[in-house]
Structure 1
């Protein structure tokens, strides 16, 4: 079973292999607060104001770009909704890969270190 520390220590790799349904719960357990929403994992982060929301966005942009795994992000005054999935899996139909959970763990670490 993967741990948060295991995920934080990894880098995303190109993959065309989706996680099996039987693996998803183990990976979700390693990233508390993330939820399955169809073929994605999602989490909403709360902030005091727009400045903090933008600061978080900029901080995660650097990390997720370095891993070359980019989420869908919805940004409002004091909230940031992040959705991860992997477009290259399931023959290009999309789904979840380990990369989604690696980046979810890294986004959580940034939030916990600087904004919680």
Structure 2
């Protein structure tokens, strides 16, 4: 069964609980700055593991000392769903352990 898109107000309210995350068009996204390239790569691998566990994948970009994510749900017509906010919450919970700001 396809995921249901969430109303914009609910997305905005929920994003207030996820520091650094914002609504960008029809996606939610965040860019984390880390102390080194190695720390950024470690966070990217951790995020990839979470995405595989949830079977829900974002666009994930590794920079020199940054990791950027952008996500929406294709099965909801490219809109933001509960699955996207769940992924964002999981990433937000692990990012500080990698030194992300």
Pairwise same-fold verdict (TM > 0.5): yes
Separation in structure 1 between the aligned mates of residue 8 and residue 69 of structure 2, nearest angstrom? 21
Bigger fraction of residues in helix = 2
| Partner residue in 2 for 1:9 | none
What TM-score do the two structures reach when normalised by structure 2? 0.90
Aligned residue number for residue 98 of structure 2? 114
Bigger shift: 54-63 or 26-35?
Answer: 26-35
Match in the other structure for 1:102: 86
- Is 1:67 equivalent to 2:54 in the alignment? yes
Give the SS at the match of 1:88. Answer: helix
Q: Deviations over 1:11-64 (max 9, x none)?
A: xxx643100123222221221220111000110001122111111111111111
Q: Which runs of 4+ in 1 moved over 4 A?
A: none
Mapped contact 1:87–1:95 kept (Cα < 8 A): yes
The TM-score, its normalising length taken from structure 1, stands at: 0.79
Q: Count how many residue pairs are aligned between Structure 1 and Structure 2.
A: 100
Check whether the contact 1:75–1:81 (CA below 8 A) recurs between aligned residues.
yes
Relative to 1, partners in 2 of residues 1:48 and 1:22: Cα closer, same or farther, differing over 3 Å?
Answer: closer
Residues 27 and 72, structure 2, Cα contact 8 Å, conserved in 1: yes
Q: How far is 1:113 from its partner?
A: 2.5
Structure 1 pair 82–113 and aligned structure 2 pair: CA distance change class (3 A): same
Gaps of 5+ in 1: 1-13
